[in-house]
Structure 1
């Protein structure tokens, strides 16, 4: 029992003012939480496309679309007549820009048809610099899959390369040479990139690679992968990119996945680089609907603005040694990013551990916490996550089982329709969490439940710091802010935890929202159970809002 407060404070609800005041308070808290989610979602956007009247030295999606309409007129896989037409068109466009493109011919074996030898034709061109340190290479592949014309994958990047080269020719030479490398056979197993690294003499001239890809036909272009020791690259990327979208968590997770792009081969050959892709509109990936008409021009504009601005920036820098210790990086407000050395992650994690210990002491001193209650709160948090996972997995399985045709199952996962299912499952998650916490708060004091939940965050912060350092920010910073909120609640009257909980949960909600949306977009609702469970983890930051008023005999 808390001797600082009379028994009546546990047995009756404190005066809360008029009903209107209570509703105003609830609405204000909802505005705070939804505001944090909206700010998080504002990170996931592409710039407005520039029209044909954009300045000559700027990138224009409309001008690039003219090229793309030719490149992606029809499927053009390796060794097809359409492929040869695209090759000749690209050579002619580069020559029209005053460049001297070359075709590197090589042989490669398709990973999809073992034993079948393909003739590869990489297209390469050099824009000479005035005082070259090492060359900056822009790379993308121009072959498509047989099933689709490849407007997004990877025609958009090729069209952006042509528009970028045109703008560079207008503005004049940079210090470093710029290499335009249009690889062939990427869809057959990164064959063109392998051939370039193994056989082309220009490979040894490269100081940095900017590679561009797509896994859908809309949405912002993400910088989703870097080479090792990316500290200098990230700092310069943040200086130069006009609308950067990048998360070190995505890069750390991507390294654990079996996916490859041409940058995989470039990195294997020792070249440092940055990798970009847009990934919304997954239903168009490698499909017949991957056409220029279905491509989001904002995605093309984002690709191009990265390409042009970063080329101009890195083209003026010394690229002889670009390796520096890795960094943690992430967006916070729109296109504003935060970055710090990865080595600092341990310090921030230890700060969280220290603040957790101070918070436990503070709660014990104020007689708001108990060891029994803390342990109880920890297991209640774990139980809530397990129940959410089970309920959501069951509901999603039932929904899919009651759809008779595989086509309609795929429609359920599509972004336009799947978003409504996602919102529905999130509401189910909130309802399950509310009912559970409302029930258990009869037996566990709110402060004990709060600190027990944050103990789970301590474990997650420590685990990611050691095993997934690029993702440590996602757990460490929400932990630190929520601990501050809990300490403030100790200094307020009993039951006045709503505002500290909501206000100091906002950073965590802001950080989690774009990551959850990205996982949904990239993995679809095939990952419904794990996805909503991660959302439930973020929801634990506002568990105090679900609690009842304290009463006697609670832990």
Structure 2
């Protein structure tokens, strides 16, 4: 229900609000746009270094010279081009003063018979080895692609990393370089190494590098279990770290695999990195050195060099520690804390929500019935948005050719416009439904009901997806603070207050939403728009009808003819 002003002071205050309406609208827009921009700034790659970079630094320009040879043409297992790349890598490693060996093996593939595998392995001794650091990447490509990003960029980065390491003196720990073969044939080279090679069980930390596109920042998207110590050291050492425990928790539920899967099955601890924007180049003829974003290569290399130096001088005999919750906040600044803290943060949030309800009811600003109605509105809206988005994408799929659909879904420029279109339709649906339904429910009831659903999402992720709990619990805490402050005011200003305190939520949601869009494409338009709606729900009061405000103004006019 709507609550009208209860005193002459209220009506006077309401009557003076008009001149500041434009300022509040501008504040709302600035808060939302600014928070989204801060979120997007998390997902950027560092500027690539040129050929004149200091010799002890990683240079993408220098690595590109190697990559132009490695990814000159497709080089799948068994091809003549594969042998050429193998020989080139052996020659370059020897030229760097190393003694590489070819670890030969065989694998039986379903429907393809027996294949010969040739991993390239070498070791750089340390001065006081505890356990070796191992850098791993695969050098084979699929038949259709030259493999500049997948995985030539990592192989070229490995050569440039070794060159840079030699300028700064030896590490304490040994360094193992593993260039696996047959990754594109089911991780066969990594499996052969772990099953047969005498060094397989030695590494204390593995750094594996992959790609699922040809541009964008390199994400640390996977770790081994009990990753607390690894995450802490990763944040200390990496100059431009990007990683989200939510992505890792979701990745574990998916059927996707890399060589890191095999290393983890073998009991090794480590970190897995990949860049994934520009998905139209993945396993495609577009995956050439000319089309590769050198900033992505630079990010790969900076991780590789800085982490090798860091872990190379640490005691790696015991690297297991309680799993961590971790995420970026401002640019490359990351936050992390033990996963066990999640349940205590949730308990605090539940208490804060209960106190908020009590506060609102005591001030007659919200009611239990209105709160439940607000939650129902939110759930209804999620269903409507999913249905409209899924239906719209189904109509698109049936109206265009297969090639056009591929462009719409995968082209990094075209797909963004389609995503923006779906998002605009979603915002329109939210505006219409919230504006209509909120005529029958107070804006702060809508707000408290929405946050009740957020509380349930926080509890669910805390219990079943703890690495993703941060995405819901921290925006919820800030929004609850905003709701309490809004209820302290005599006039309903929940719109701009909700926008200010929704900023942390938009900062956290924006990079995840964009990454899900890039990785999953608009083939999951319904799910993507639901995810966007959850973020936008933090500012539902902005969409609420101004009917209550008109009633206040009418009351003010009657009091002051």
Interval of TM-score (by shorter of Structure 1 and Structure 2): over 0.9
Please tell me whether the aligned partners of residues 495 and 549 of structure 1 are also in contact (alpha carbons under 8 angstroms).
no
Residues 496 and 78 from structure 1, CA distance in 2 versus in 1: closer, same or farther, beyond 3 angstroms? same
Do structure 1's residue 503 and structure 2's residue 500 form an aligned pair?
yes
TM-superposed deviation, 1:78: 0.8
- CA distance in 1: counterparts of 2:340 and 2:149, whole angstroms: 37
Shift of 1:13: 10
What's 2:240 paired with?
Answer: 243
- 3-state SS, counterpart of residue 225 of structure 1: strand
Spell out, residue by residue over 1:142-194, the C-alpha distance to the aligned partner (whole angstroms, 9 max, x if none).
Answer: 00001111000000000000000110111110000000000000000101100
Q: Is 1:136–1:311's contact at 8 Å kept on the other side of the alignment? A: yes
Residue 469 of structure 2 corresponds to which residue in structure 1? 472
Q: Distance in 1 between matches of 2:180 and 2:69?
A: 18
The equivalent position to 1:142 in structure 2, one of 136, 139, 143, is 139
Partner SS state of residue 133, structure 1: coil
Query: How do 1:526-541 residues align onto structure 2 when only pairs under 5 Å count?
Result: 526-541=523-538
The 1:320/1:2 distance shift into structure 2, 3 A limit, reads same
Matched, 1:409 2:405: yes
Instruction: Return the TM-score normalized by structure 1.
Output: 0.96
Give the aligned partner of residue 32 of structure 2: 33
User: Does 1:180 pair with 2:177?
Assistant: yes
Q: Is the 8 A contact 2:2 2:441 kept in 1?
A: no
CA distance change for structure 1 residues 147 and 505 in 2, over 3 Å: closer, same or farther?
Answer: same
Q: How far off is 1:11 after superposition?
A: 10
Residue 6 of structure 1 is matched in structure 2 by 6
Secondary structure of the corresponding residue to residue 102 of structure 2: strand
Query: What is the CA distance between 1:513 and its match in structure 2?
Result: 0.4
**After TM superposition, where is structure 1 displaced by more than 6 Å over at least 4 residues in a row?**
1-4, 7-13
Matches within 5 A, 1:88-107: 88-107=87-106
> Which of 287, 290, 293 is matched with 2:287 structurally?
290
3-state SS in 1 of match to 2:77: coil
CA distance in 1: counterparts of 2:180 and 2:112, whole angstroms: 21
SS in 2 for 1:170: coil
Which piece of structure 1 moves more, 32-41 or 114-123?
114-123
Contact in 2 for aligned 1:150/1:286 (Cα 8 Å): yes
State the secondary structure of the residue aligned to 1:280.
Answer: coil
The answer to whether the aligner puts 1:306 opposite 2:306 as a matched pair is: no
Match of 1:156 in 2: 153
- Residues 360 and 369 in structure 1, CA contact (< 8 A), matched pair in contact too: yes
Among residues 391, 394, 403, which one is paired with 2:391 in the alignment?
A: 394
| Post-superposition offset of 1:550 | 6.0
Deviation at 1:546, TM superposition (A): 1.1
Q: Does 1:545 align with 2:525?
A: no
Contact 2:10 2:490 in 1 (8 A): no
Mapped to 1, the partners of 2:394 and 2:226 lie a distance apart of 42
What residue number does 1:168 align with?
A: 165
Distance change >3 Å, CA 2–CA 348, structure 1 → 2: same
Please report how far the alpha carbon of residue 6 of structure 1 lies from its aligned counterpart in structure 2 after TM superposition: 2.1
Root mean square deviation, CA, Å: 1.8
Q: Deviations over 1:462-504 (max 9, x none)?
A: 0000000000000000110000000001101222212321110
Deviations 1:366-414 (A, max 9, x none): 11111111111110111111111111222222233222x1111111112
2:223 match: 226
**Number of the residue aligned with 2:264:** 267
Task: Show the counterpart of 2:193.
Answer: 196
Moved more, 123-132 or 487-496: 487-496
Which position in structure 2 is the counterpart of 1:51? 50
State whether structure 2 residue 15 is matched by structure 1 residue 15: yes
Deviation at 1:543, TM superposition (A): 0.5
Q: 1:7 to 1:383 in 2, by over 3 A?
A: farther
Question: What secondary structure sits across from 2:121 in the alignment?
Answer: strand
In the alignment, the residues of structure 2 paired with residue 384 and residue 289 of structure 1 have an alpha-carbon distance, to the nearest angstrom, of 40
State whether residues 216 and 279 of structure 1, in contact with CA within 8 Å, keep that contact through their aligned partners in structure 2.
yes
The question of 1:447 aligning with 2:417 is answered no
Q: List runs of 5+ in structure 1 lacking aligned partners.
A: none
Name the counterpart of 1:73. 72
Matched, 1:339 2:336: yes
Write the distance in 2 (CA, Å) between the matches of 1:393 and 1:3: 38
Q: Quote the residue 1:432 is aligned against.
A: 429
Give the distance between the partners of 2:9 and 2:456, measured in 1 at CA: 34
What is the distance in 2 between the residues matched to 1:17 and 1:450? 22
The answer to whether the 8 Å contact 2:356/2:480 transfers is yes
Query: How far off its partner does 1:312 sit?
Result: 0.2
**C-alpha contact 1:280 1:521 (8 A) present in aligned 2:** yes
Q: State how far apart, in whole Å, the 2-side matches of 1:250 and 1:409 are.
A: 26
Is contact 1:13–1:549 with CA below 8 Å preserved after alignment?
A: no
Displacement of 1:5 in angstroms is 3.4
1:372-391 equivalences in 2 (<5 Å): 372-391=369-388
What does the per-residue CA deviation read over 1:317-358, in whole Å, with 9 as the maximum and x for residues that have no partner?
Answer: 001110000000000000000000000011111111110000
Q: CA deviation at 1:107?
A: 0.6
Return the TM-score normalized by structure 2: 0.95
